[in-house]
Amino acid sequence: MPRSKIELRHVRYIIAAAQSGSFRRAAQDLGVEQSAISRRIRDVEDEIGAQLFRRHSAGVDLTEIGKQFLHHASPGAHQINSALERARTTAANGRHLRVGVFGPLTMGFLSELFGTFRRARPGTRLRFSEASSPELVAAVRRGQLDVGVVVEASPGRGYEVTDLWNEHVYLAMPEGDPLADQKTVRWRDLGHRHFVVTDLPTGHFARDYLRRHLGAPSDALRIEQLSVTRESLMQIVAQGGGVTLAGSAHVRCGHSGITFRLIEDAMLRYGAVHSSGFLQKDLERLLALAKSLSERDQAWFASQRLIRPEHRRVPHVDCHRGARGRTPDRLQ
């Protein structure tokens, strides 16, 4: 048998014309041209070899064949429309972005970015996971993540990197530590210190980062990796259990009993890794917001203790003395 050319829209046009009694009113109701209604109905009539409507000056009426056709076709059309509507609702309710993050979501740039995105796209859920930068890049390449916020990553095959921000690396030490009297610390000041890091992805990165920059054999370094949270690690530092590396989020949020000092020539570059192919609209929106944030003026970045991506170095800020005679980096 020859394949029918009748589609769902043909049936929708016939139903609309039958309900309104006019091709013109049916076209207005559906938001299409009247010629489209007439042409599609004529296609059906040509295929079945009979008229579905009687045309007259006042409009149109169904013929007996037209009534029989709608009697059998309408339930199917309504079922399909109902199924489409349910599918659209399910898709809207289930819309989400899979976001991988290296580091805490308390980082100033990320809290601003995701807060703005939620307000712009309230129907899209953000599903977060945390992993190391190499793991996040691999997950994006495999299609398991839509975007990953990573550190020190460069574009590669199948993915791109959108620069987000740069930030200094700080030494976190207990109050009263001899290095707290310095405005900044140098790597050569730290080779003999006892470092504590977590066994989270950020802790693995900190361990490897220390090994690269301290300029000493690995077996000579004192780096202790602990199965604790970031908050517990800061408590250990405050209690004199060692020193550790910290980022802007720690410095901005603060921690009682801890002093933070910039480490000279220590800076990290953060970016968003995403597919270099087709991007869904929600991801496009998120990346557009991220780019807009990354282009804010330096004053906003300074308020977050961050640096715009295009500026790798900024004038040193004297963190030694602050209001009321206290050290601003010695946080309460």
Domain residue spans in the chain?
8-93, 97-331
Output the CA–CA distances (angstroms, integers) from residue 150 to 1, 46, 212, 216, 273, in the order listed. 59, 61, 19, 27, 7
94 pLDDT tier (thresholds 50, 70, 90): low
For residues 92 and 124, what is the distance between their CA atoms, to the nearest angstrom?
Answer: 8
pTM, entire model: 0.64
65-69, 107-111, 121-125, 322-326: segment of lowest average pLDDT:
322-326
Place of tokens 């139903």: 15
- Residue 67 phi/psi, 5-degree rounding, is -65, -45
CA 214 to chain CA mean position, Å: 34
pLDDT (average), residues 183-211: 92
- Tell me, what's the pLDDT at 175? 94
Choose which CATH entry (3.40.190.10, 3.40.50.720, 1.10.10.10, 3.90.230.10) describes domain 8-93: 1.10.10.10
Architecture per CATH, domain 97-331, reads as: 3-Layer(aba) Sandwich (3.40)
Output the CA–CA distances (angstroms, integers) from residue 310 to 9, 151, 163, 280, in the order listed. 53, 15, 9, 27
For residues 34 and 237, what is the distance between their CA atoms, to the nearest angstrom?
Answer: 76
Whether 8-93 and 97-331 share one fold: the answer is no
For residues 251 and 102, what is the distance between their CA atoms, to the nearest angstrom?
Answer: 17
